[in-house]
Amino acid sequence: MQSHEIDRLARSFADAAATFLGLVESLETSRWEEPSVEDRRPIGTIAHHVALGYAIGHWRVVAAASGYPQPLQQGSADERNAAHAAASPAPDRAATVELLGTGAAALEVAIRSLRARQLDDEITVGAFKRTIASLVESCRSHVLEHEATIRNSIGV
């Protein structure tokens, strides 16, 4: 039987992801390449970044659920974001929308694969220790952060 907390975490993430997907789908084509007001990355690049974040979140949650060490990532978040922006200055919109949908679904399933007793387990991500519950919450927070960036940038 699934715990209420796991269900709450999964639903909370899925709701944020669905709202983000709806926002991205509603963007006028002309907005896709506009720079964001916060860091000047194109809005489409930010959407693609979120889609990649789902894959990384899925990877981390599955590793945590399985008791494996967390995957290593090179450089700081700012360095990785800059490298992604340089490599993906104009990601394909249709492919990004598809990645957002499939990636969110996969991450939600990974969250639901957790057991309640695992939520308080500590994992090491880079130089930091955190609980699996905080890892899952950070997946949702990442989506909300970039939803706000896009909304700010397009004035809604």
pLDDT at 111 > cutoff 90: yes
**CA 116 – CA 27 distance, rounded (Å):** 38
- Residue 130, both tokens: 């955190």
pLDDT at 141 > cutoff 80: yes
Would the pTM of this model clear 0.85, i.e. be above it? yes
3-class SS of residue 122: strand
Burial (CB count <10 Å: 0-12, 13-18, 19+), residue 29:
exposed
Q: What is the pLDDT of residues 60-96, one digit of tens each?
A: 999 998 888 877 777 667 777 677 677 776 799 999 9
CB 57 within 8 A of CB 129: no
- Architecture of 4-154 per CATH? Up-down Bundle (1.20)
CB 31 within 8 A of CB 43: yes
CB 153 within 8 A of CB 40: no
